[in-house]
Amino acid sequence: MNIAVCDDCRQDACAVRELLPGQEVTLYGSAESLLSDVEQGGKHFDLYLLDIFMENSMSGIELAGKLRAWDEAAVICFVSASNDFYREAYDLYAVQYLIKPIGREELEKLLDKVEKIFIKKKEKTLGYSWRRASGVIPYGKILYISSREHVLSIHCTDGRVQESTGKLSDLEQQICGDTFLRCHQSFIVNVYHIRKIAGMDLVLAEKGEKVPVSRRYYAAVQERYRKLLFEEVGWE
């Protein structure tokens, strides 16, 4: 796994690298140097480990916002000596929040979680049938699915909208569970593309598109999203 560690404390950064044998780890002493490599150098990392407090540099929170704007699918984990920024981490779709000093077991759990996310996005597909055309779409490329008069519209990350015959209730039984969640009478959403919950809307990571949440499904959606972000972290 290709990992970027951004921490202005060289000792802390090196300690993290020592706990990640077998991984390709690049250390950055400032937010600006990492951001430059991503935006101008074209570098991509499977995981970003970002310290929140960095002297003479933008904060890890600000850096995460810029990384998210550049790469909407970026997998970000915050590292801090303080637990005061859980809300900001939540809003930035952070996969985890670790408190210093970080132990080997915590990092192993984090890597396992990231691997599972990648596997889930890659291996499953949704079949569609429309008139004389048919095919499959990977789960990871589906933002949400809407329904109107027994016609399903599959909204994809590349802007494509693929129509398919079927009922949303039948589709719910087929795919809802880990990756997809019913959020409205007319909508099913891919939880891995939710950036945040804003009132009665789900704001998606891609282009900030919004999907409504009805009162009937609100509690279940909120709980599933919370578990997605914070499972195995002990934030409860």
Q: List the chain domain ranges.
A: 2-121, 124-230
**Residue 50: pLDDT band with limits 50, 70, 90:** very high
Evaluate the omega torsion of the peptide bond into residue 138 and state whether it is cis, within 30 degrees of 0.
no
Strand positions, DSSP E, 100-236: 125-130, 133-138, 142-148, 151-156, 161-165, 180-184, 187-190, 194-198, 201-204, 210-212
**CATH fold match for the domains 2-121 and 124-230:** no
Segment 52-72 shows an average pLDDT of: 89
Spelled out in words, what is the top-level CATH class assigned to the domain 2-121? alpha beta
**Residue 35: pLDDT band with limits 50, 70, 90:** very high
Look up residue 191 and give its two tokens: 């939880």
Rounded distance between C-alpha atoms, residue 142 and residue 140, angstroms: 6
In this predicted structure, the answer to whether residue 123 has a pLDDT above a threshold of 70 is no
Spelled out in words, what is the top-level CATH class assigned to the domain 124-230? mainly beta
* Among 8-12, 51-55, 85-89, the least confident range: 85-89
Segment 85-93 shows an average pLDDT of: 85
Helix orientation angle between 31-39 and 60-70, rounded to the nearest 10 degrees: 0
Q: Which amino acid is at 47?
A: L
Q: What backbone torsions phi and psi does residue 215 show, to the nearest 5 degrees?
A: -60, -35
In this predicted structure, the answer to whether residue 43 has a pLDDT above a threshold of 90 is no
Q: Which among 176, 184, 229 is positioned nearest to 205, based on CA atoms?
A: 229
Q: What is the pLDDT of residues 186-236, one digit of tens each?
A: 999 999 888 889 999 999 977 789 999 999 999 999 988 887 766 534 344
Mean predicted lDDT score pLDDT of the chain: 89
Q: What is the pLDDT of residues 145-189, one digit of tens each?
A: 999 988 999 999 889 999 999 999 999 999 988 789 999 999 999
Q: What is the pLDDT of residue 230?
A: 60
Q: What is the pLDDT of residue 178?
A: 79
Q: What is the pLDDT of residue 97?
A: 94
